[in-house]
Chains A and B, each alone.
Chain A
Amino acid sequence: MNQETLDPTQWVDKYGDSMYRFAILRVKDEAHADDIVQNTILAALQARDTYEGRSAEKTWLFGILKNKIFEHYRETKKNYKYQIELNDEADPCESDFDGKGHWRALPFNWGIDPEKAYGNEQVYQILSGCIDELSPKFRQLYVLREIEGRDSESICEDFDITQNNLWVMLHRTRNLLKKCMESHLPEIG
């Protein structure tokens, strides 16, 4: 069996951009993304003696990167209360319901078939932009749930929040993204 070996001199050229992209989607701020990639490289250099070649170099590095991003989340945890607060963005769909709680108008068909959207750069560009506009706590929870695929229980444990709180926040986030997408969809034509 071919054992993978590490070649740190190639890391920046081979993985720099993809590590940075991975980080920026999750932390929004460019300076933080830069720091996280740097900390990952430092940690990887330190830990390279423990690398046994069982996983590919890239997988190994991205594993460390994920840990660093999570460390960043834990640090920022002190700055936010992971629950809905008065100064949070309001649920933009609230006014879509009438007094009886029924939709005032039919939610419109986006005309996007997710199976075929792959390769439609504009759609993903709009979505990235919309995720960018989210506040940090909404963004972190959404990324963990939808991109990392973490289950609600483990997210609640990590952030010391109740399941109900999480669901309310994820629902609000989805509605914010829905409205943001809809405001840009006419551009796709």
Chain B
Amino acid sequence: MTESKREQIRDIILNLTRSKCADTSRFISENMDRQPSPLKWLKVGFHLALCEYCREYKTQLKTLRRLTQDLEKEGANMEAQAFMKPESKERLKQIIAKKN
């Protein structure tokens, strides 16, 4: 079966079941923030089983989440790391010396 034929069949099934990628993409994101209802879980699962596009979108969101969570790991982004200005450090040290 050719690629376009497969896409046509997928679109027909998705249209028949009124399962749109635009809605599914929203549910994929929403499911990352709460436990989906069984019905929604089934709907999204069914759509994902058929739709490579939404599967790829889901992978992207999962990658984004994982990278964000790792952002603060020591050494994960050494170059991107910001440093406190020396004058701010000096000011803080004076405050501490005064109050200590």
| Chain A contact residues, CB within 8 Å of chain B | 8-9, 11-13, 16-17, 19-22, 24-25, 34, 37-38, 41-42, 45, 93, 97, 100-103, 106-110, 112, 114-115, 117-119, 121, 123-125, 127-129, 131, 142, 145-147, 149, 151-152, 163, 166-167, 170-171, 174, 177-178, 181
Contacts and interface: CB of A to CB of B under 8 A. Distances in A.
B29 A102 contact: no
Given A106-B52, A181-B64, A124 B80 contact: yes
Range of interface residues on B (Cβ < 8 Å): 35 or more
B94 to A, nearest CB: 10
25 contacts: A9-B97, A9-B100, A12-B92, A12-B96, A17-B81, A17-B84, A34-B84, A38-B95, A42-B95, A93-B25, A100-B15, A102-B21, A107-B57, A114-B66, A121-B80, A124-B77, A124-B80, A129-B80, A142-B68, A147-B68, A152-B33, A167-B26, A170-B33, A171-B29, A178-B61
Given A124-B80, A125-B79, A101 B71 contact: no
A181 B54 CA distance: 18
A106 B32 CA distance: 21
Contacts of A123: 67
Contact of A110 (B32, B34, B52, B60): B60
